[in-house]
């Protein structure tokens, strides 16, 4: 079954090349006429073969073999190369030791064996990461400035925010962040991408949802998130291993809440405002250097009073 998939994969690549030829070059009367001649094969390569057909056939064999080896490696199955070569050659020559049904049964058995080995490996990795995480969090909890919450989440305030408004779980927040494993390896960063991330706070890992709700706009905290509040037993392959304890530096840039943003959209509407307003520029405005503003309720009332009165429509 895998051999069929391998050959189809190569055929698909060749088909893609056939469907997407090099773009034609428009004629240029003032320059030599461009040609769409195919790339040439160096003479030293041609010298290795008796004919073009042999060269091309051998090349296809190399491509299929490379794909086959990569697939076997991804399966996590250690098998002798000569056995793989023999099976492939026998099938090509029409003399396989196994028919399709027998091949299917063997492959199913092999999948089960690989699955068992992978699960055993995963459980060993979980046990290792669990131990390391527990030891790290226990030691970290004793450090100055570390706050430990009942859930097990730990944090340290790196920078206090100037705003008073804090997000709710249902809010959309704008954050800069950097995530690392316990060994210091970075697995994700909005700073690397050059712009903050925006997302619904109730659609991220539990540690984020709980922790960011405690922050005010403009603050920057460091979070130490137990695996149970992060990605758990499965991790997030390939960057985050199973049951990994994670460290995040999170900077709360702003909050987007339609209910809070409504008064900003219509100043002078006369609606009473009792909480701070987070004014979040659009991405285009952020790119131009605009900053996220925190407007106090009292300041907003002053701004509203400074707005010129709108003319009243005459009654008919």
Q: What is this structure's pTM?
A: 0.59
**pLDDT above 70: percentage of residues in the chain:** 68
Give me the number of domains the chain comprises.
2
Q: Are residues 224 and 156 in the same domain?
A: yes
- Output the pLDDT for position 19: 36
Q: Are residues 64 and 164 in the same domain?
A: no
pLDDT digits (tens, 9 = 90+) for 217-231: 999 999 999 999 999
The 3-class secondary structure across the chain, one letter per residue, is CHHHHHHHHHHHHHHHHHHCCCCCCCCCCCCCCCCCCCCCCCHHHHCCCCCHHHHHHHHHHHHHHHHHHHHHHHHCCCCCHHHHHHHHHHHHCCCCCCCHHHHHHHHHHHHHHHHHHHHHHHHHHHHHHHHHHHHHHHHHCCCCCCEECCCCCEEEEEECCCCCCCCCCCCEEEEEEEEECCCCCEEEEHHHHCCCEEEEHHHCCHHHHHHHCCCCCCCEEEEEECHHHCCHHHCECCCECCCCCEEEEEEEEEEECHHHHHHHHCCCCCCCCCCCEEECCCHHHHHCCCCCEEECHHHHHHHHHHCCCCCCCCCC
Print the domain residue range for 197.
147-303
- Tell me if 158 is assigned to some domain: yes
Least confident interval from 80-84, 203-207, 234-238: 80-84
Q: Are residues 47 and 173 in the same domain?
A: no
- Tell me if 29 is assigned to some domain: no
Q: Is the pLDDT of residue 249 over 80?
A: yes
Q: Are residues 75 and 202 in the same domain?
A: no
Q: Are residues 170 and 263 in the same domain?
A: yes
pLDDT digits (tens, 9 = 90+) for 75-122: 766 666 788 788 888 988 899 999 999 999 998 998 898 889 889 999
Q: Are residues 203 and 267 in the same domain?
A: yes
Q: Are residues 175 and 66 in the same domain?
A: no
CATH number at residue 289: 3.10.50.40
- Tell me if 121 is assigned to some domain: no
- Tell me if 122 is assigned to some domain: no
Q: Are residues 84 and 199 in the same domain?
A: no
Residue predicted with more confidence, 46 or 33: 46
């Amino acid at each position: 079954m895998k051999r069929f998939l391998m050959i189809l994969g190569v055929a698909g690549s060749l088909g893609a090349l056939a469907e997407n030829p090099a773009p034609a070059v428009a004629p240029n009367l003032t320059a030599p006429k461009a040609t769409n001649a195919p790339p040439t094969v160096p003479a030293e390569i041609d010298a290795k073969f008796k004919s073009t057909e042999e060269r091309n056939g051998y090349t296809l064999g190399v491509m299929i073999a490379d794909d086959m080896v990569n697939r076997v490696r991804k399966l996590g199955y250690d098998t002798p190369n000569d056995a793989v070569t023999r099976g492939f050659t026998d099938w090509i020559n029409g003399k396989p030791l196994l028919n399709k049904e027998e091949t299917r049964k063997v492959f199913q058995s092999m999948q089960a064996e690989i699955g068992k080995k992978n699960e055993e490996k995963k459980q060993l990795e979980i046990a290792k990461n669990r131990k390391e995480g527990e030891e790290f969090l226990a030691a970290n909890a004793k450090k100055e400035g570390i706050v430990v919450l009942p859930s097990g989440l730990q944090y340290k305030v790196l920078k206090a925010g100037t705003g008073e408004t804090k997000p709710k779980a249902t809010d959309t927040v704008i954050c800069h962040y950097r995530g690392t494993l316990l060994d210091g390896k970075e697995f994700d960063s909005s700073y690397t991408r050059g712009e903050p991330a925006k997302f619904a706070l109730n659609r991220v890992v539990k540690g984020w949802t709980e922790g960011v709700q405690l922050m005010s706009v403009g603050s920057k905290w460091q979070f130490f998130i137990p695996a149970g509040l992060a990605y758990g037993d499965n991790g997030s392959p390939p960057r985050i291993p199973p049951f990994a304890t994670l460290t995040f530096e999170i900077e709360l840039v702003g909050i987007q809440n339609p209910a809070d943003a409504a008064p900003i959209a219509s100043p002078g509407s006369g609606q009473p405002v009792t909480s701070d307003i987070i004014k979040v520029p659009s991405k285009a405005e952020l790119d131009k250097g605009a900053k996220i503003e925190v407007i106090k309720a009292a300041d907003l009332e002053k701004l509203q009073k400074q707005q010129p009165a709108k003319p009243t429509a005459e009654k008919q």
